[in-house]
Amino acid sequence: MHTLYDSDTYSVTHMLANAEADGSTVVSTLKTVQHPEGVPMLARHGFEIVDKRTGKEVYLDGSWAELFQQHIMAWQVNTPTQEEVEDTLEQYAELAQNPVLVH
């Protein structure tokens, strides 16, 4: 679990479902004819986005997580402003239905 972003309005945490106890990630490979050494496969993971204003969160996994991962990779290439990041997070936060609960 890694906090990727934390502001007054949003928090984004990367959840690594295939992580080892020491924090390393298990990476599986798929061997194909074109790639006999193996092609690294994306470990199953997800992202939790918390909208602090509404007290709700959304968990993105599967294709939603892959789409969000593309945003993160684009942000690494072209450093966005905080406003641009929060505008993107606001779009995902519209999906939030689950109230944030402390256990």
User: What is the total count of domains within the chain?
Assistant: 1
State the residue for tokens 């406003």: 83
Does 9 or 16 have the greater pLDDT score?
9
Distance CA 18, CA 35 (A): 23
Domain containing residue 44: 2-99
> pLDDT value at position 26?
46
Say which amino acid occupies 47. Answer: F
**Percent over 70 (pLDDT), the chain:** 71
Interval 43-74: pLDDT, tens? 568 999 999 999 999 999 888 999 999 999 99
Say which amino acid occupies 19. Answer: A
